[in-house]
Amino acid sequence: MNDHAWILLGLFMALLLLLARPMGIYISRVMTMGNHGTWVSGVEKAVFRACGIQRDEEMGWLQYARAVLLFNALGLLAVYALQRVQLWLPLNPQAMANVSPDSAFNTAASFVTNTNWQGYGGESTMGYLIQMLGLTVQNFVSAATGIAVAIALIRGFARHSAAGIGNAWADIFRATIWILLPLSLLFALFLSSQGVIQNFATYQEVRTLDVTTYQTPKLDADGQVLKDEQGNPVTEAASTTTQTLAMGPVASQEAIKMLGTNGGGFFNANSAHPFENPTPLVNFLQMLSIFLIPGALCIAFGCIVGDERQGWTVFAAMGLLFVSFAIGAISFEQQGNPLLAKVGETEATSVRTTALTDGNMEGKEARFGIADSALFATITTAASCGAVNSMHDSFTPLGGAVPLVMMQLGEVVFGGVGSGLYGMLIFAVLAVFIAGLMIGRTPEYLGKKIEAHEMKMTSIAILATPLLVLVGTAIAVMTEAGRAGIANPGAHGFSEILYALSSAANNNGSAFAGLSANTPFYNGLLAVAMWFGRFGVIIPVLAMAGSLAAKKRIFVTAGTLPTHGPLFVTLLIGVVLLVGLLNYVPALALGPLVEHLMLWSTR
């Protein structure tokens, strides 16, 4: 950590703290607003009538869960169908082919579950219509689904002796139209002013200054790659003086990609691509926009349950975890790769390959350098965003372990929009339960008794993702099809698979991208992990919201464990680290830890 890194991290946290409260108050007002008076209410009235929605109708948890599932299933169908027929649809100037069934299914599951894992390269696979009408839409509504579920859970705490937890249609509509859309519009316009492209042009060809010579695979008469006797492709020399620049409506998707913690890039290189993330200033605001809504939702939680301290307590636990991991990631990356320092060494001169700015620059952009890249990597995985401005696969072993662990904690360090908060509240319930056992009192949280049913739902929600990650990794490692995708030899290859499953099941979407995951095996396996990683948590969370809402409120007494303040922050962090991390220690030891020891011992 140099001065630049400290200032960057300090500025980031200061701005986040500054913005979280006003944004949180706004979200709480929007999501709990009444139905009378304003023009907003007038718009809603007209829209809901047209859609056949009774906006005052309270849904029980089961009805709410059915609505959420049905709405998301429609999204899955729509995104799948659009990709399968894109060649015959308009706004496809590059004539991108119809996407294969397994890849289309994977992408549909990925964007509907707010994962935005990408097995494909954006600029070489998706036409503009699919990017907009398929993917951008899911960027909005998957984030809105997360907000809706989080608010439903908060209502469970805030209400008492109630049958309903809100109206799913109204919640999804309000989160999309009154929260995500205005913010995205402002941010998209700012991005396009800074160089993020926004157009429907065909790819632009330019004449380059210098000649590029390269090797290209030789094709036979049928267009198949020729192979030599060893089975290696035969290459021939080629040269070009042109460069083709990919175009598209990027800014509009980029804005919601960050604000909705989606993370699916318009281009293959995601936020490392200069057309998605042209300057370090834009990069900083992209980082801030990832945490904006997840941070604000903590405050909204405090507002709705009527005790702002509760919200700040959750925020503090998330913030402390995040800052410690960010410092780790930046420090490890700044250490650099000891093997490269020796490469340039010659006996005669003993020249060493070092730079003024040391550090691991493989897979990083010069404008961002080490600190802005490693901080981005921590943020994007602490939140379930998954956008990347550097290639995590090329990080140092421990630098790359930070994003991996951030995901494995269950995406609760700010986490996804909505999903981060409901995930952390599940941990809070567990913390209260454990504390209750220790002091010998009935556990209660926010005036609600935590009983057997709540603990069952908590256990399901907490165990669903580790089960998917570890079983999925085991399947991939044991099968030929799984091992075939590995790009890097040794322990790092195992890390690639572990990262893919951790990313999918926790709905993050970033990758150790060397893994060749656009195969029927991985498309299928990861789609299953994404779907059950999402709804395997949402359904128990909603079930718990329902049972909490029905409970009577118990009043605070001298014997009540306070769930605000430093003591509870410590307890909460302890539970997250113990429960979240212990599941993964053996797997982490086989991957990043072994690799770290090898890297520094072969020096």
Partner 1 sequence: MKSLLRPAVSLFVLLSVVTGVFYPLLVTGVARLAFPAAASGSLIVREGKPIGSALIGQNFTNPKYFWGRPSATAPQPYNAAASSGSNLGPLNPALAAAVKTRIDALRAADPGNLRPVPIDLVTASASGLDPHISPAAADYQAERVARSRQLDPQTVRQLIAQHSEGPDLGVFGETRVHVLRLNLALDATTR
Are 166 and 58 in contact by the 8 Å Cβ rule? The answer is yes
The span from the CA of 375 to the CA of 392, in Å, is: 12
Q: Which is nearer to partner 1, 269 or 318 (by Cβ)?
A: 269
> 400: which DSSP letter?
H
Interface stretch with partner 1, choices 6-14, 291-299, 535-543, 555-563 (CB under 8 A): 6-14
| Residues within window 287-306 making contact with partner 1, judged by CB under 8 A | none
| Out of 109, 112, 149, 269, the residue judged to bind partner 1 by CB under 8 A | 269
Provide the pairing of β-strand 235-245 with 204-217: antiparallel
Q: Which is nearer to partner 1, 7 or 582 (by Cβ)?
A: 7
- Taking the complex as a whole, how short is the minimal distance between the CB of residue 149 and partner 1, in angstroms? 16
194 counts as binding partner 1 under rule CB under 8 A? yes
> 306: which DSSP letter?
T
| Out of 203, 219, 483, 574, the residue judged to bind partner 1 by CB under 8 A | 203
- Taking the complex as a whole, how short is the minimal distance between the CB of residue 111 and partner 1, in angstroms? 12
The span from the CA of 186 to the CA of 311, in Å, is: 27
- Taking the complex as a whole, how short is the minimal distance between the CB of residue 343 and partner 1, in angstroms? 5
Q: Which is nearer to partner 1, 208 or 459 (by Cβ)?
A: 208
| Out of 155, 257, 273, 551, the residue judged to bind partner 1 by CB under 8 A | 273
| Residues within window 227-246 making contact with partner 1, judged by CB under 8 A | 238, 240, 243-246
109 counts as binding partner 1 under rule CB under 8 A? no
272 counts as binding partner 1 under rule CB under 8 A? yes
The span from the CA of 393 to the CA of 270, in Å, is: 14
The span from the CA of 235 to the CA of 215, in Å, is: 6
Helix (H) or strand (E) holding 213: strand 204-217
Provide the pairing of β-strand 444-445 with 235-245: unpaired
Are 298 and 315 in contact by the 8 Å Cβ rule? The answer is yes
- Taking the complex as a whole, how short is the minimal distance between the CB of residue 408 and partner 1, in angstroms? 19
| Residues within window 349-368 making contact with partner 1, judged by CB under 8 A | 349, 351-368
601 counts as binding partner 1 under rule CB under 8 A? no
Binding mask 426-465 for partner 1 (x = CB under 8 A): ----------------------------------------
- Taking the complex as a whole, how short is the minimal distance between the CB of residue 569 and partner 1, in angstroms? 29
Are 511 and 502 in contact by the 8 Å Cβ rule? The answer is no
Q: Which is nearer to partner 1, 311 or 418 (by Cβ)?
A: 418
Give Cβ neighbours of residue 498 (< 8 Å, ≥ 6 apart): 404, 469, 473, 587, 588, 591
98 counts as binding partner 1 under rule CB under 8 A? no
2 counts as binding partner 1 under rule CB under 8 A? no
Interface stretch with partner 1, choices 105-113, 304-312, 383-391, 525-533 (CB under 8 A): 383-391
The span from the CA of 260 to the CA of 418, in Å, is: 9
* Dihedral in degrees, nearest 10, Cα atoms 7, 325, 491, 342: 30
Q: Which is nearer to partner 1, 238 or 567 (by Cβ)?
A: 238
| Residues within window 120-179 making contact with partner 1, judged by CB under 8 A | 121, 123-124, 132-134, 136-137, 139-141, 144, 169, 172-173, 176-177
Interface stretch with partner 1, choices 31-39, 191-199, 444-452, 553-561 (CB under 8 A): 191-199
- Taking the complex as a whole, how short is the minimal distance between the CB of residue 147 and partner 1, in angstroms? 13
| Residues within window 62-91 making contact with partner 1, judged by CB under 8 A | 63, 66-67, 70-71, 74-75, 78
Are 325 and 374 in contact by the 8 Å Cβ rule? The answer is no
- Taking the complex as a whole, how short is the minimal distance between the CB of residue 78 and partner 1, in angstroms? 7
**Residue of 386, 461, 395, 437 lying closest to 416 (CA atoms):** 386
556 counts as binding partner 1 under rule CB under 8 A? no
- Taking the complex as a whole, how short is the minimal distance between the CB of residue 185 and partner 1, in angstroms? 7
344 counts as binding partner 1 under rule CB under 8 A? yes
**Residue of 265, 479, 263 lying closest to 384 (CA atoms):** 263
343 counts as binding partner 1 under rule CB under 8 A? yes
Tokens coding 396: 């140092």
- Taking the complex as a whole, how short is the minimal distance between the CB of residue 361 and partner 1, in angstroms? 4
Long-range pairs of 277-283 with CB within 8 A, sequence gap ≥ 24: 277/196, 277/389, 278/194, 278/195, 278/196, 279/194, 279/195, 279/367, 280/367, 280/368, 280/372, 281/194, 282/191, 282/194, 282/195, 282/196, 283/367, 283/368, 283/372, 283/376, 283/389
**Residue of 550, 314, 311 lying closest to 451 (CA atoms):** 550
The residue count for the chain: 603
Q: How far apart are the first and last CA of the chain?
A: 23
Total residues binding partner 1 (CB under 8 A): 139
- Taking the complex as a whole, how short is the minimal distance between the CB of residue 549 and partner 1, in angstroms? 20
- Taking the complex as a whole, how short is the minimal distance between the CB of residue 380 and partner 1, in angstroms? 13
- Taking the complex as a whole, how short is the minimal distance between the CB of residue 285 and partner 1, in angstroms? 9
Judging by beta carbons within 10 Å of its beta carbon (0-12, 13-18, 19+), is residue 339 exposed, middle or buried?
Answer: exposed
- Taking the complex as a whole, how short is the minimal distance between the CB of residue 180 and partner 1, in angstroms? 8
Give Cβ neighbours of residue 469 (< 8 Å, ≥ 6 apart): 408, 498, 501, 502, 505, 506, 529, 584
Binding mask 481-500 for partner 1 (x = CB under 8 A): ------xxxxxx--x-----
- Taking the complex as a whole, how short is the minimal distance between the CB of residue 371 and partner 1, in angstroms? 8
Are 407 and 503 in contact by the 8 Å Cβ rule? The answer is yes
50 counts as binding partner 1 under rule CB under 8 A? yes
Question: Phi then psi for 111, rounded to 5 degrees?
Answer: -80, -30
- Taking the complex as a whole, how short is the minimal distance between the CB of residue 179 and partner 1, in angstroms? 12
User: Number of helices and strands (H, E) in the chain?
Assistant: 24, 4
Binding mask 502-541 for partner 1 (x = CB under 8 A): ----------xxx---------------------------
Tokens coding 531: 């779907």
Question: Phi then psi for 208, rounded to 5 degrees?
Answer: -85, 165
35 counts as binding partner 1 under rule CB under 8 A? no
Amino acid at 490: G
| Residues within window 387-426 making contact with partner 1, judged by CB under 8 A | 388-391, 393-397
| Out of 275, 422, 433, 499, the residue judged to bind partner 1 by CB under 8 A | 275
